[in-house]
Amino acid sequence: MTKRLVTPALAREKLHGLIFLCLAAYSATCIISITLCEIFFVLALLLWAADAFAGGRKLSGEFNTYLTLPLAVFAVIHIIAAILGIDPANSIRDSRKLYLILMFFVAAKYLDSLEKIEKIVMFFAAGSLFIGAYAVCSSISAAHAGNAAGFRAASFSGTPMHLGGMLTMSVVFLFTVIAGRIKKGKIKGYFTLFAFFALILSVAGLMLTYTRSAWLASAVGIVIAAFFTDKKLFAAVLIVFALSVFALKDTSVGKRVADAVSNTTTNTAVERILMWKSGLKIIRDNPVHGIGTANVGLVYPKYRDKKAFEPNQGHLHNNIIQVAAIDGIPGAAAILWMFVLSFFVQYRLFIKLKGDEKQYILSILAVNVSFFINGLFEYNLFSSQVVLMYWFFMGISAALYGKKEQKTVQA
Per-domain residue ranges of the chain:
8-267+294-405
| Per-residue confidence band for 145, with pLDDT thresholds at 50, 70 and 90 | confident
| Contact yes or no for 107/9 (Cβ under 8 A) | no
pLDDT at 1 over 60: no
Percent of the chain with pLDDT over 70: 95
Average pLDDT rounded to a whole number, residues 65-87: 97
Most distant CA pair in the chain, distance: 81
* 87-132 pLDDT tens trace: 999 999 999 999 999 999 999 999 989 999 999 999 999 999 999 9
- Please classify residue 108 by burial: count the beta carbons closer than 10 Å to its beta carbon, then call 0-12 exposed, 13-18 middle and 19+ buried: buried
Q: Which whole number is the average pLDDT over 44-67?
A: 91
CA-based torsion, 38, 43, 48, 53: positive or negative:
positive
Residue 363 has what pLDDT? Answer: 98
In this predicted structure, the answer to whether residue 143 has a pLDDT above a threshold of 70 is yes
Say if CB 123 and CB 173 are below 8 A apart: no
For residue range 165-200, list pLDDT tens digits in order: 999 999 999 999 999 999 988 877 788 899 999 999
Looking at residue 154, its pLDDT comes to: 92
Mean pLDDT of 350-379: 96
290 φ/ψ angles, rounded to the nearest 5 degrees: 65, -165
Q: What is the pLDDT of residues 277-312, one digit of tens each?
A: 999 999 999 999 999 999 999 999 999 999 999 999
Residue 275: how many other CB atoms lie within 10 Å: 25
Give the pLDDT confidence of 236-254 residue by residue, as tens digits. Answer: 999 999 999 899 888 888 8
**What are the backbone dihedrals phi and psi of residue 185, each rounded to the nearest 5 degrees, phi first?**
80, 15
To the nearest 10°, report the CA torsion of 308, 314, 318, 321: 90
Burial 117-130 (b: 16+ CB within 10 A, else e): bebbbbbbbbbbbb
Measured CA to CA, the distance from residue 202 to residue 128 in angstroms comes to: 6
Residue 410, pLDDT above cutoff 60 = no
Q: From CA 282, how far away is CA 324, in angstroms rounded?
A: 9
Q: 195 or 404: which carries more pLDDT confidence?
A: 195
Q: What is the pLDDT of residue 56?
A: 86
Cβ–Cβ under 8 Å, residues 255 and 44: no
Say what percent of the chain tops pLDDT 90. Answer: 80
d(CA 75, CA 94): 13
Q: What is the pLDDT of residue 265?
A: 60
